[in-house]
Amino acid sequence: MADPVGRALNQPAYGLLGGYYIMFRRAFFIVWIGFFLLISYELIWQNAVFSAIITGASIGPFFLLEQKIALHLLSSKKTE
């Protein structure tokens, strides 16, 4: 069973790694956004505006991928 915060926010990943998941998520998210911004800046003609647009558009799919991975991990824990 997921913790109350995970149920309230409809985010199954909050039950993973105990209470440390939110801290790891924040740190990883900042690093990931910065890395993706730098890579897109180098690949897209060194244009800051287009890099910011592409990075901003990738935030939603990143959260969706995170939720799908958490659901997969939780379902694999239930089958064990």
CB–CB of 28/17 below 8 Å?
Answer: no
pTM of the predicted model as reported, rounded to 2 decimal places? 0.60
What distance in Å separates the CA atoms of residue 37 and residue 34, rounded to the nearest whole number? 5
Note the pLDDT of residue 72.
Answer: 83
Note the pLDDT of residue 76.
Answer: 82
* First-last CA distance in the chain: 14
Q: pLDDT tier at 1 (50, 70, 90 boundaries)? A: very low
Rounded average pLDDT over 28-52: 88
And the tokens for 70?
């958490």
The H-or-E segment that residue 54 falls in is helix 48-57
Helix pair 21-43, 48-57: axis angle to 10 deg: 140
Give the least confident one: 15-19, 37-41, 65-69: 15-19
